[in-house]
Amino acid sequence: MNNFAQLQIDLRQMIIAIETAVSLVGMNDTNHGKRVGYIAGQLGHQLGFSEQDIQFSFDLGLLHDCGVSTEQMHANLVNHFDWKDAYVHCNIGYKLLRDFEPLSAFATPILHHHTPWEELQGLEVSRQDALMANLIFLSDRIDVMAASHYETDILLARQEIASSITNYAGAYFDPSLVSAFQQIEKSEAFWIALENRHITRYTWDMGNFKTSSPLSISQLKQLALIMAYIVDQKSPFTAQHSIRVADLARHLASLLGLPDEQCEKIEIAGLLHDLGKLHTPDKILEKPGPLNDIERTIINQHSYETYEILRHIEGLDEIARWAAFHHECLNGVGYPFHPNEKDLSIEARILAVADIFQALVQDRPYRAGMPLSKVLGILDEFTRNEKLDKEIVTITREHGDACFEIAKGHTITNNQSNLLLFSMDDDISSRQRATPETNT
């Protein structure tokens, strides 16, 4: 039964999914955004914010680092209190959200969430945006100072953290925010709640408070495009991979005669299929040679990470499975779930072909992109070995030239056009991968 028209996706749950994906970049610390959201909400409560502003503060905390895609960027942000290139991820986050109406109100606070308070007051920014931006800056720095103490000695370290924050009042932080922090930090419960087992429960509970209006299909697609951009910036060798897989998957679905609504859902799954790669170490994605056994097992986990990010979003269960099954094979030799052939839907099979096709034509650190003839030969071999669906590969071969142009990004699609909204200059984008500075 086609339930496309009844698809109702909650914005809050998608915000949590964005945070879950982006926080994977932290590798061994995957709850930073959740903690920043919690701290911001607690400060807002202490300051007498309205319930609406408290909710906004929490969501802003979840979203504040949506411009971070690489380990190196993350390392610089957590190792330096005032890193000179912190503005890079602020600019990226701003550009990602400014034209997406459901989240556009978060764009300006994200742009300035590393701007010191004394500098912020001289900018043409509304009082509300300035307050929210500084609220997140404060919450973010509190968490960075506290991160190494969770689960061990946080109740002993809190006094030193509070003292450090107080010293920055007026220069980096609004004194009224610092005063509110001085009040709430006295509670042991405030600090204990930030530990992993508690903050994940808190975020789960917050996810049950649904927003008043669900996302439309066009909005869901636009948000998926934003998430695709974030993951594709993980490495220059994966740039636009998700977008081109989505374009190719939709094209193949249309050639196979699937209804327009189903084609659009497949496209969304294509945009989201590699979210889990945000948890893959940069050095593995950019290794200029074959992966060893350990590296292969690490990268093979990304499909499951994608599933974990998406499966908690009510109404997105089908898309979550299609996205997570993009490395599964008909003969059961894929990963990570090994479903039976009957459990591999046509949508998942289309994504598998689109993903392999695009990966083969794209330049990778260990090889140049392949010509069409070689790609089709590999797809035929995978068909003979019962890895890929024969009908889908046949359609791909029959329309090989068009598929090649889409996979290479030579055909301008709506996704390609919308990508221009997020475009960054090469210098700023390259700073995502800048070598971490010496700690001072």
- pLDDT tens for 3-40 read 555 678 999 999 999 999 999 998 778 899 999 999 99
How far is CA 129 from each of CA 106, 182, 209, 391, rounded to the nearest angstrom? 9, 23, 24, 54
Q: Where in the sequence numbering do the catalytic residues fall? A: 277
CA 387 to chain centre: 29
Taking only the tens of pLDDT, the chain with its 440 residues reads 445 556 789 999 999 999 999 999 987 788 999 999 999 999 999 999 999 999 999 999 999 999 999 999 999 999 999 999 999 999 999 999 999 999 999 999 999 999 999 999 999 999 999 999 999 999 999 999 999 999 999 999 999 999 999 999 999 999 999 999 999 999 999 999 999 999 999 998 888 887 777 898 999 999 999 999 999 998 887 788 999 999 999 999 999 999 999 999 999 999 999 999 999 999 998 888 899 999 999 999 999 999 999 998 999 999 999 999 999 999 999 999 999 998 999 999 999 999 999 999 998 888 889 999 999 999 999 999 999 999 999 999 999 999 999 999 987 776 665 665 566 544 444 445 554 454 33
Residue with tokens 């009224």, as numbered in its chain: 176
CA 152 to chain centre: 29
Give the integer Cα–Cα distance in Å for 143 and 76: 15
What secondary structure, in 3-state letters, does the chain show? CCCHHHCCECHHHHHHHHHHHHHHHHCCCCCHHHHHHHHHHHHHHHCCCCHHHHHHHHHHHHHCCCCCCCHHHHHHHHHCCCCCCCHHHHHHHHHHHCCCHHHHHHHHHHHCCCCCHHHHCCCCCCHHHHHHHHHHHHHHHHHHHHHHHCCCCHHHHHHHHHHHHHHCECCCECHHHHHHHHHHCCCHHHHHCCCHHHHHHHHHHHHCCCCCCCECHHHHHHHHHHHHHHHHCCCHHHCCHHHHHHHHHHHHHHHCCCCHHHHHHHHHHHHHCCHHHHHCCHHHHCCCCCCCHHHHHHHCCHHHHHHHHHCCCCCCHHHHHHHHCCCCCCCCCCCCCCCCHHHCCHHHHHHHHHHHHHHHHCCECCECCCCHHHHHHHHHHHHHCCCCCHHHHHHHHHCHHHHHHHHHCCCCCHHHHHHHHHCCCHHHHHHHHCCCCCCC
Question: How many other CB atoms sit within 10 Å of the CB of residue 268?
Answer: 27
Burial bucket for residue 256 (CB in 10 Å: 0-12, 13-18, 19+): middle
Where along the chain do the CATH 1.10.3210.10 domains lie? 4-213, 217-427
Gyration radius of the chain over CA positions = 22
- Superfamily of 4-213 according to CATH: Hypothetical protein af1432 (1.10.3210.10)
**pLDDT score, position 34:** 97
Q: Are 243 and 358 in contact (CB under 8 A)?
A: no
Give the integer Cα–Cα distance in Å for 23 and 152: 21
Give the integer Cα–Cα distance in Å for 213 and 9: 9
- Its CATH class, for the domain covering 217-427, is mainly alpha
Residue with tokens 């374009």, as numbered in its chain: 247
**pLDDT score, position 427:** 41
**pLDDT score, position 438:** 42
Angle at 342 between CA 320 and CA 313, to 5 degrees: 15
